[in-house]
């Protein structure tokens, strides 16, 4: 697929009027061809108006028709697997096998949502039939189901150039719900974005859907993103990225004349608590597992375990020593962008000034310390008292670091947990006796995170029906939703009730004969 | 029940340190005994901290235990039926039979949520069992369910002193979800609020629940409300009232260091479209029905039909003449507060300057035109062109008025519908042929309102499983939720996923044996 560097405005391509930018190789720092063009505000306006127009038709097509579109996109991703993975590897330096796997995950996400909308039960149809003889007044016939919100603005993330980007879970779930999508592509992987955008755009034509069902805008700055969130035609926002950028979008969405739902997934320290039983099983293996988890993807996972609570004991000391050794012996990591690398250094220096110890490998002779995208692993150590006095120590740093918080004994974990802000995950390592003895810890952590994990590292995120990739602020803008898994579709739908409508005027989901055979509630009970 | 005029701070009562205020009789304008005391910021802080503490225990009790609490409150409302209705009648001048009925509705709302949490299936349990043999990696065991958000701030509304106030649907649904509640009582009916607060507070002790499960704060101004929404312990907000106040709370909630979910139900014109078939059935009866609906409760219903689209025809003329006659012959109405009456006059005068005609009864000789709580019905008439150029003409006016928009022919309704902002309801009167001929109108209205009604007036709001009392801004802050009906519980809950937890450490809803017998999804399908 030849890269043109131009945005997708419905079925057309953008102009060369906007400012130009390029991707950079994280391994060499050199620019990569071709040159990309930022969308103009006129192009954005056209894409948004096309989306509003497309919504009228796209929101009316059947779940089966939407599923066909999603399955065609999935097939498109798979048929461009190598091209996508190779370009993403150039632009992100993430390992090729990981990227090849990410193409599969991306395709599977579209298929998951295809099965959800084919099945159709996700609309949560509820029927309270008329009670004409009720006293003192008859009850009317009431039938409710979920309907799509309208055009959704999706922001591609830097760290998953496929699964959380142009064709990521946000796009898949919004399209599944019946919402047209306008993606603001992440400028760190514009070539990967263009290939993905073309796959999704070609599927629009192939399925004869309205042109405005999908658009994708390039921009190296923030102008297009801000204008997108504040455009009157946009009805919801989905974003994965930094706390600073996410909060700016939240503020823009909530200060519109008409505020709109805005789901931002932003920042998580993913606290991990080590209970005594876990260390009895072998401190070295646990340290190796943790090292693998916090350096996975060069530490650029939303679910990286960034705060480790460890009660003092001889085995805890062994665990720390093993972790120190792993960090000291580690090779340099390559980060996604120069900006991320600079921020990793800045945040690390700021944290180092506050903690009791910092471990890091010495720069090797062959290492070019001026290479802007490179970073060394870091292990910070502090005490619980320091963390409670300086809760900002637990703030996420994006990169291959973690912070061990030394606690006096496991019962200190409760105070530690209570001091936490919101996170995507919270993890407990231990045995079943530990769990039984720490029910209150679990209850507190449940208030702090969207996913609680026992004896596994949080960096694995399954895309299933029960996954929750969400949590209280600052993990996300709204803890009532998730951005991963089939529940993610509920971000983009709203209930609509039809009162006293004749059967023929109802959508099939609500007709008395239930022609789609979906699960429904009648007077609150399954039919 | 003796009224003390003091707030409820958990199991204790507030002090007399705050400023004093009184209710006023809307019929006489005279103050009513006793004197009430606004809560102080210290009392608010204590209530909020008690709520945060109570949340730890209250969030853990079973659905059955929560249902027992809700049922006890329901019984309390019923056993104080006359006292509540009489005091509410004094404070609001709403008709006594309506208020007696509202006590029943309030009790039934608590019972509806009791059945929901007794049944337990509302938590939407989802189980994706482990797949230890999956390639290339095993899948962990994932189990998700809804859990409560935390302490909720509820704002009592003026227009339903029982069903949307201290013990209204917001309180009932938040308590049902497992969230402690702090109500900011509406100062227009403080005595009714105190009786309701005492019923809910006594049920807390009777069920041996934590004291902070319920508090209620008085304040005649906005200081306590704003401080409540910005208090760190508060995790969500529910409000019914004016657009100005609701937007101020939305802005306060979204500009917190940690923004929180904020559901405000604010403003709705409830557009009503009259199709030819409806007029063929008899224009006079339709006019009488409409007059009854827009003057019900002195026009102070959230669902008052405030914008009527009427295509010109001889029958349409008869309809307008009948409506004019009904308005001209109507008796004065009594509004809830002097502030509402003054705002009704101000908004009516502003609108009168913009429209082609205003009908209103002449003041009768016996009418005291200076009585501050009295208002006359008003019928405004304008054209579609004027409405499209001045969309603010369709803004809600709280009181016994409506606006007829003269259209050339029924096909103009589509442009009219497209120009609408968000509303709680949209109504179509006509016959089945009209509906079939206006599918596109229905599709547009579906984007604009939470409830679409055929051949009935929107002022009746059933409290059932399929009711949606919500809609796009400015009807509410978030169209994905409703404040009436059992779906309202979902405003106050968030999904939490438990990964790889041993069965014994899971909540009963998620255990393999399903001891509560609730409906669950396993791999996305019913078990």
pLDDT tens-digit readout, A394-418:
899 999 999 999 999 989 999 999 9
Q: Are residues B261 and B221 in the same domain?
A: yes
CA distances from A477 to A240, A250, B398, B481 (A): 11, 7, 33, 16
- Reported as a pLDDT band with limits 50, 70 and 90, residue A285 is very high
B223 and B78 share one domain = yes
User: Residues 236-265, chain A: which have Cβ within 8 Å of B?
Assistant: 250-251, 254-255, 258-261
B contacts of A466 (beta carbons < 8 Å): 126-128, 142-144, 497, 521
A344 belongs to a structural domain: yes
Average pLDDT over residues A94-116: 97
The CA distance from B467 to the nearest CA of chain A, in Å, is 6
A144/B466 touch (CB, cutoff 8 Å), yes or no: yes
- Determine contact, residues B71/B111, Cβ cutoff 8 Å: yes
Interface test with B, best of A123, A138, A480 (most B CBs within 10 A): A480
Q: Å from B442 to nearest chain A CA?
A: 9
Interchain pair A258, B474: CB under 8 A = yes
Mean pLDDT of B213-233: 97
Dist. CA B148–CA B143, nearest whole Å: 16
Kindly list the strands in the beta sheet with B152-155, ordered across the sheet, starting from the edge strand earlier in the chain.
B12-13, B8-9, B214-217, B181-184, B152-155, B236-240, B262-265
| For residues A12-36, average pLDDT | 96
Which residue of A257, A497, A503 is the best one to mutate when testing the B interface, meaning the one whose CB has the most B CBs within 10 A? A497
Residues 50-79 of B with CB under 8 A from A: 55-56, 59-60
The total number of residues shown for chain A amounts to: 527
Quote the pTM value: 0.97
CB contact under 8 A, B470 and A142: no
Residue A2 domain-assigned (yes or no): no
Mean of pLDDT over chain A: 96
pLDDT of A367 strictly over 80 = no
Closest CA in chain A for residue B524: A465
Which residue of chain B is at minimal alpha-carbon distance from A142? B466
Asked if B524's CB is within 8 angstroms of A465's CB, the reply is: yes
> pLDDT (tens digit, 9 = 90+) per residue, A290-344?
999 999 999 999 999 999 999 999 999 999 999 999 999 999 999 999 999 999 9
Q: What string of H, E and C letters represents the secondary structure of A84-127?
A: HHHHHHHHHCCCHHHHHHHHHHHHHHHHHHHHHHHHCHHHCEEE
Instruction: Please report the pLDDT score of residue A370 as a whole number.
Output: 58
Residue A396 lies in a domain: yes
pLDDT tier at B371, thresholds 50, 70, 90: low
Write the pLDDT tens digit of every residue in A195-241: 999 999 999 999 999 999 999 999 999 999 999 999 999 999 999 99
**In this structure, how many other beta carbons lie within 10 angstroms of the beta carbon of residue B165?**
30
Choose, from B179, B302, B322, B407, the residue flagged as catalytic: B302
| CB atoms A486 and B453 under 8 Å | no
> Is position B40 within any domain?
yes
Distance CA B259, CA B251 (A): 10
pLDDT value at A368 more than 70: no
One-letter-per-residue 3-state SS of A307-329: EEEEECCHHHHHHHHHHHHHHHC
- Residue B299 is predicted with a pLDDT of 96
Please state, in angstroms and rounded to a whole number, the distance separating the CA atoms of residues A256 and A248: 12
Count residue pairs from A and B with Cβ separation < 8 A: 232
Same structural domain, B189 and B304: no
Residues of B in contact with A523 (CB under 8 A): 464-465
Looking at residue B365, what is its pLDDT? 56
Checking DSSP bridges between strand A525-526 and strand B8-9, what pairing results, if any?
unpaired
Q: Which of B436, B468, B504 sits opposite A144 (nearest CB)?
A: B468
Q: How confident is the model at residue A366 (pLDDT cuts 50, 70, 90)?
A: low
Give, in order, the Cα–Cα distances in Å from B188 to each of A248, B193, B201, B268, B341: 38, 9, 21, 22, 13
Are A495 and B450 a contacting pair at CB < 8 A? yes
Q: Do A472 and B127 touch (CB under 8 A)?
A: no
How many domains are contained in chain B?
A: 2
Angle at which helices B63-79 and B81-92 pack, to 10 degrees? Answer: 70
Contact list, B128 vs chain A (CB under 8 Å): 462, 464-467
CA distance, residue A239 to nearest chain B CA (Å): 16
Here the contacts of B27-30 (C-beta below 8 Å, separation 24 or greater) are: B27/B93, B27/B334, B27/B373, B29/B338, B29/B371, B29/B372, B29/B373
So what's the pLDDT on residue B394? 87
Considering A91, A194, A265, A322, which one is annotated as catalytic? A265
Using a CB-CB cut-off of 8 Å, the residues of chain A touching B455 are 500
Tell me which chain B residues have a C-beta less than 8 angstroms from the C-beta of A126.
465-466, 487
For A498, nearest residue in chain B (alpha carbons): B452
B284 and B404 inside one domain = yes
Report the alpha-carbon distance of residue A374 to residue A367 in Å, rounded: 9
Q: Where are the alpha helices (DSSP H) in B21-62?
A: 41-58
Q: Considering the domain boundaries, does residue A151 fall inside one?
A: no
For tokens 């679990």, the residue is A442
CB atoms A149 and B479 under 8 Å = yes
Q: Can B302 be counted among the known catalytic residues?
A: yes
* Region A245-253 average pLDDT: 98
CB of A470 within 8 Å of a chain B CB? The answer is: yes
Domain assignment present for residue B473? The answer is no
Mean pLDDT lowest among A105-119, A130-144, A436-450, B368-382: B368-382
Residues within 8 A of B (CB atoms), A 137-176 only: 137, 139-140, 142-144, 147, 149-150
Nearest CA in chain B to A435: B505
User: Is B303 in the same domain as B162?
Assistant: no
The verdict on B180 and B323 lying in the same domain is no
**What sign does the CA torsion over A260, B264, B473, A170 have?**
positive
Average the pLDDT over B345-367 and give the result.
Answer: 85
Cβ–Cβ of B490/A480 closer than 8 Å? yes
| HEC string for A166-217 | CCCHHHHHHHHHCCCEEEECCCCCHHHHHHHHHHHHHHHHHCCCCHHHEEEE
Q: Residues B410, B275: contact at Cβ < 8 Å?
A: yes
Q: Does residue B522 form part of some domain?
A: no
Instruction: Pick the residue of A494, A501, A507, A519 with the most B CBs within 10 A to test the interface with B by mutation.
Output: A494
Q: How far apart are CA A477 and CA B350, in angstroms?
A: 39
In this structure, the strands spanning B423-429 and B333-334 are: unpaired
Q: Does A100 touch chain B (CB under 8 A)?
A: no
C-alpha A253/C-alpha A237 separation (Å) is 8
Residue pair B283/B319 in contact (Cβ under 8 Å)? The answer is: yes
- Chain A residue with minimum CA distance to B423: A496
Give the one of B128, B235, B421 whose C-beta lies nearest to A464's C-beta. B128
Query: Is the same domain home to B249 and B348?
Result: no
Alpha-carbon distance of B7 to B14, in angstroms, equals 5
Nearest residue in chain B measured CA to CA from A149: B447
Count the Cβ atoms, other than its own, within 10 Å of residue A243: 16
**Would you say residue B515 lies in a domain?**
no
Q: Please tell me whether residues B398 and B282 are part of one structural domain.
A: yes
Q: How many CB atoms lie within 10 A of CB A239?
A: 29
- Identify from B230, B247, B459, B494 which residue to disrupt to test chain A contact, counting A C-beta atoms within 10 A and taking the largest count: B494
How does residue B136 score in pLDDT terms, banded at 50, 70 and 90?
A: confident
Question: Both B17 and B166 in a single domain?
Answer: yes
Rounded mean pLDDT, A372-398: 92
Q: Which domain holds residue B85?
A: 8-132+140-266+481-492
**B453 near A CB under 8 A:** yes
Residues B285 and B410 occupy one common structural domain: yes
Quote the minimal CA–CA distance from B337 to chain A in Å: 29
Kindly report whether the peptide bond that precedes residue B136 is cis, defined as omega within 30 degrees of 0. yes
Q: Are B254 and B146 in the same domain?
A: yes
Query: Do A497 and B450 count as a contact with CB atoms less than 8 A apart?
Result: yes
Which residue of chain A has the CA closest to B457?
A499
Contact partners, residue A241, CB within 8 Å, separation at least 6: A155, A157, A158, A264, A265, A266
The answer to whether B473 contacts chain A (CB < 8 Å) is yes
- Residue B132 at interface with chain A, using a CB cutoff of 8 Å: no
Say what the pLDDT of residue B363 is.
Answer: 72
Q: What is the CATH number of the domain that holds A400?
A: 3.40.309.10
Statement to judge: residues B363 and B412 lie in one domain: yes
- What is the structure's pLDDT at B1? 80
């Amino acid at each position: 697929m030849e890269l043109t560097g131009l945005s997708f405005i419905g079925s057309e391509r953008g102009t060369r009027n906007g400012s130009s930018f390029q991707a950079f190789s994280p391994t060499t720092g050199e620019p990569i061809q071709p040159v990309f063009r930022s969308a103009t505000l006129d192009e954005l306006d056209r894409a948004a108006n096309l989306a509003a127009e497309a919504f009228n038709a796209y929101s009316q097509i059947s779940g089966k028709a939407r599923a066909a579109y999603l399955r065609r996109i999935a097939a498109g991703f798979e048929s461009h697997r190598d091209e996508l993975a190779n370009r993403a590897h150039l632009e992100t330096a993430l390992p090729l096998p990981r990227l090849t796997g990410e193409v599969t995950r991306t395709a599977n996400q579209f298929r998951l949502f295809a099965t959800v909308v084919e099945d159709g039960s996700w609309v949560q149809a509820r029927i309270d039939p008329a009670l004409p003889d009720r006293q003192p007044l008859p009850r009317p016939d009431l039938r409710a189901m979920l309907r799509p919100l309208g055009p959704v603005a999706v922001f591609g993330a830097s760290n998953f150039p496929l699964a959380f980007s142009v064709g990521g879970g946000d796009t898949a779930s919004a399209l599944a719900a019946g919402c047209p999508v306008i993606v603001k592509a992440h400028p760190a992987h514009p070539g990967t974005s263009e290939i993905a955008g073309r796959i999704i755009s070609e599927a629009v034509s192939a399925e004869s859907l309205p042109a405005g069902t999908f658009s994708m805008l390039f921009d190296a700055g923030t102008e297009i993103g801000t204008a997108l969130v504040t455009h009157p035609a946009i009805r919801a926002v989905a974003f994965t990225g930094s706390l600073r950028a996410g909060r700016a979008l939240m503020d823009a969405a909530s200060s519109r004349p008409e505020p709109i739902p805005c789901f931002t997934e932003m920042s998580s320290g993913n606290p991990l608590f080590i209970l005594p039983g876990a260390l009895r099983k072998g401190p070295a293996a646990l340290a190796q597992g943790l090292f693998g988890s916090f350096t996975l993807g060069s530490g650029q996972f939303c679910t990286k375990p960034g705060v480790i609570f460890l009660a003092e004991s001889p085995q805890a000391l062994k665990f720390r020593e093993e972790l120190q050794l792993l960090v000291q012996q580690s090779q340099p990591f390559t980060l996604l962008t120069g900006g991320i690398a600079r921020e990793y250094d800045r945040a690390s220096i700021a944290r180092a000034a506050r903690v009791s110890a910092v471990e890091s490998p010495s720069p090797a002779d062959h290492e070019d310390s001026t290479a802007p995208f490179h970073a060394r692993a870091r292990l910070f150590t502090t005490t619980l008292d320091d963390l409670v006095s300086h809760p900002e120590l637990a703030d996420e740093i994006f990169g291959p670091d973690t912070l061990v918080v030394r606690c006096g004994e496991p019962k200190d974990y409760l105070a530690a947990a209570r001091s936490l802000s919101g996170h995507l995950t919270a993890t407990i390592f231990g045995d079943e006796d530990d769990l039984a003895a720490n029910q209150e810890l679990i209850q507190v952590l449940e208030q702090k995170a969207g996913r609680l994990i026992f004896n596994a590292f949080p960096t694995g995120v399954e895309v299933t029906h029960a996954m929750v990739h969400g949590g209280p602020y600052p993990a996300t803008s709204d803890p009532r939703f998730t951005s991963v898994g089939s529940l993610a579709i509920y971000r983009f739908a709203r209930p609509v009730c039809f009162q006293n409508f004749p059967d023929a005027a109802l959508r099939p989901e609500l007709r008395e004969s239930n022609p789609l055979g979906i699960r429904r509630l009648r007077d609150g009970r399954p039919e």
